Amino acid sequence: MSNLLERITVNPKQCGGRPCIRGMRIRVSDVLDLFASELSAAQILEEMPDLEVDDLKAVLQCAARNAQHPILVA
């Protein structure tokens, strides 16, 4: 499962350094927005034919990991 996160790339010269999928200009946040808009995985794959099922899994795993970051309160 950890190799799914290898599909998530960060390049400071691309998309403002935001996490993208496999070096493409498809941001993790773009795919999350589609899920939040109630599109199914099949619909997202239809809308973005360059994506693969494992890319969607990687996006969700990335989001889950980021949600677990500790928040420091001063």
Tell me how crowded residue 62 is: count the other CB atoms within 10 A of its CB.
19
**Would residue 72 count as lying in a domain?**
no
**Would residue 73 count as lying in a domain?**
no
Task: Give the pLDDT of residue 2.
Answer: 58
pLDDT for 69 beyond 90: no
**Would residue 60 count as lying in a domain?**
yes
Provide, for the chain, the percentages of residues in helix, strand and coil under a 3-state DSSP scheme, each rounded to the nearest 5.
Answer: 55, 5, 40
**Would residue 38 count as lying in a domain?**
yes
Going by C-alpha positions, the residue among 31, 34, 4 that lies closest to residue 18 is 31
**Would residue 74 count as lying in a domain?**
no
pLDDT tens for 13-53 read 999 999 999 999 999 999 999 999 999 999 999 999 999 99
Q: What is the pTM of this model?
A: 0.86
- Residue 16 is part of a domain; what is its CATH number? 1.10.10.10
Domain around 59: 2-67
**Would residue 33 count as lying in a domain?**
yes
- Across the strands, what pairs with 8? 21
